[in-house]
Amino acid sequence: MKVLVLNGPNLNMLGKRPKEHYGTKTLDEINNLIKDAAPEFEFIFYQSNYEGDLVTKIQEAVINNYDAIIINPAAYTHTSVAIHDALEMFSGIKIEVHLSHVDDREAFRRINYVRDVCDETFSGKLEGSYIDAVMYLKNRK
């Protein structure tokens, strides 16, 4: 299974962000946990602070017939119709993840432009949200 793990803005700063929402692990540490959870999968990891870069990566996943996308759009969850539309084109499995419980945070975070085009959402378990996404894929393959 070929899986794109896509992370949005500020996730490159994990380990330096407020620990009560984002934990203590860096993005590289989370990526290693993901690889360890499913060594039989081919993971492609990508992080960008730029919306267009994320859209381009999703389009590449469409063109190159990836099997799944695990996406933490971060702040773009609440603002990006472009990411929504790109995900809508992807016919594989799409999983939204968040480190924190975004629905229980500030009111503006309750707006979500990606959830309705994803197959599943995992949130609020820090790096465990990503591992739950990988386990979901293992059960679907």
Q: Is 109 annotated as a binding residue?
A: yes
Structure-token match 């929504």, residue found: 84
Q: Is 10 annotated as a binding residue?
A: no
Q: Is 100 annotated as a binding residue?
A: yes
Strands 2-7 and 68-72: parallel
Q: Is 84 a catalytic residue?
A: no
- Of 22, 66, 76, 130, which is the active-site residue? 22
Q: Is 116 annotated as a binding residue?
A: no
Q: Is 129 annotated as a binding residue?
A: no
- Of 76, 98, 113, 130, which is the active-site residue? 98
Among the residues of the chain, which ranges form H helices?
A: 19-22, 27-37, 51-63, 81-89, 128-140
The token duo for 55 is 């859209």
By annotation, the residues acting in catalysis are: 22, 98
* Binding site residue list: 72, 78, 85, 99-100, 109
User: Which residues contribute to the annotated binding site for substrate?
Assistant: 72, 78, 85, 99-100, 109
